[in-house]
Structure 1
Amino acid sequence: MRPQILVLCLLLLAGCSSTKLVSTWKSPEIVLFDAYKVLVVGMAQDVNVRTEFETRLVEKLEEKGVEAVRSLDLFDVEFTSSEKSEEELSEVEEQLLDKGFDAILFTKVIGTENRRTFKERMNRFNDMYTRFSSDYLEHQDIYYDSEYHKTFNIYTAETSLYCICVDKERELIWRGNLEIMEPVKVEKTIDSYIKRIADAMHEQDVIF
């Protein structure tokens, strides 16, 4: 399987493979969080995988009555093909706010079990990014650096929900970490990943 397929194949489980929710974190200041318009961001070099994941997650959100938009429909090819500065990410957040978005649901692969990680810094699994811009800046080379990742057997994936609400800090609301066995069928694994994330968020009164 090509490395590109493996990137957001994070979300991949199928056949005898499995997806396991390892941990979740929710802001102690938040009891209930409802979002009305969510930007779905799935970091992946492979456009097909990214499209499949973002499309299915948008469909899941819309099933629950939440308006959702794929990052593919907002971030053009030029945007994801090169590094972005914190200033540029701040401008993006302001644009999202102007367009009525109040949250970003951000998913990426952060490591593997066989110890062959993306880059040495990807071993910092416990880093806590409390802002979308910081999280994006740290991992944006997933999009364009062909040496970013290797071939793994088990993925560690992470989905984070960031608030971009008016008159509130644009900060981390919720985070879930999952382990995924190397995928066989992309579609089934994406569905399984999304279901586990949705169930966990529902249990903690976040969006779902």
Structure 2
Amino acid sequence: MKLKLIGITLLLLTGCSSTKLVSTWKNPDNVIFDAYQVLVVGMVQDDAMRMDFESKFAEALKAQGVDAVRSIDLFDVEFTSAERSEQELKEVEEQLLDKGFDAILFTKIVGAENRRTFRERVNNIDNMIVRFSNDYLEHQNIYYNPEYNDSFNVYHSETSLYCICVGKEIELIWRGDVEVTEPENVNKTIDSYIRLVTKSMGEQDVIFN
């Protein structure tokens, strides 16, 4: 089964604009988290943009000594074309575990809101999604809803690192919330986004340091 999942929130954001890290959260139970094989998932409808984003993010991780695999190289072509069930997501997680993956880096665009509302939402730790399957299920319409990104001028995206850990209910290790304003150049924005996220993860001893 070809896996196609990676936090591609960034792919829709383009770059002459400002890219800012609004906030980060790190699981207090994981002081240092090392990952050796990471699945990069960019959740976006445009296949070319998804490939570009996942490829660049995977290359950035490999440069730090992490074995990174693009979701487009693992998921079936049809996997992201329709709604998937919780059971199907559980099967995906089990397959990843069997293949030796220990983390999923998941990026998605979560919408366009005013800054105050956005900060209130990202600071609400009690309502934070802590499992990859739940995160995917809640936002999977990004892949196939043609109206999802029609009216965005300011993009709010999340990149979340989930641990594929046996027997652990809380999988979320780290999350970064990024705001991109008035995107104009896709390639530059993707590069800026990846530099911003990887720098923050490194500073917080997540994946690499």
**How far 1:19 sits from its partner (Å)?**
0.3
Please provide the CA RMSD for this pair.
2.0
Task: Report the identity percentage.
Answer: 66
What are the within-5 Å matches in structure 2 for residues 56-205 of structure 1?
Answer: 56-113=56-113, 126=124, 127-169=127-169, 171-205=171-205
Give the Cα separation in 1 of the matches to 2:12 and 2:73.
20
**How far 1:49 sits from its partner (Å)?**
0.8
SS of structure 2 residue aligned to 1:107 = strand
Report the counterpart of residue 33 of structure 2 in structure 1: 33
Give the Cα separation in 1 of the matches to 2:149 and 2:12.
16
Q: TM-score, normalised by structure 2?
A: 0.86
1:12 paired with 2:13, answer yes
Report the counterpart of residue 21 of structure 2 in structure 1: 21
Letter of the 1:61 counterpart: L
The number of equivalent residue pairs is 194
Give the Cα separation in 2 of the matches to 1:9 and 1:124.
19
| Structure 2, unpaired ranges of 5+ | 1-7
Report the counterpart of residue 3 of structure 2 in structure 1: none
SS of structure 2 residue aligned to 1:173 = strand
**How far 1:138 sits from its partner (Å)?**
0.2
**How far 1:134 sits from its partner (Å)?**
0.1
**How far 1:158 sits from its partner (Å)?**
0.3
**How far 1:147 sits from its partner (Å)?**
2.5
Q: TM-score, normalised by structure 1?
A: 0.87
**How far 1:81 sits from its partner (Å)?**
0.5
Give the Cα separation in 1 of the matches to 2:154 and 2:81.
27
Give the Cα separation in 2 of the matches to 1:170 and 1:59.
28
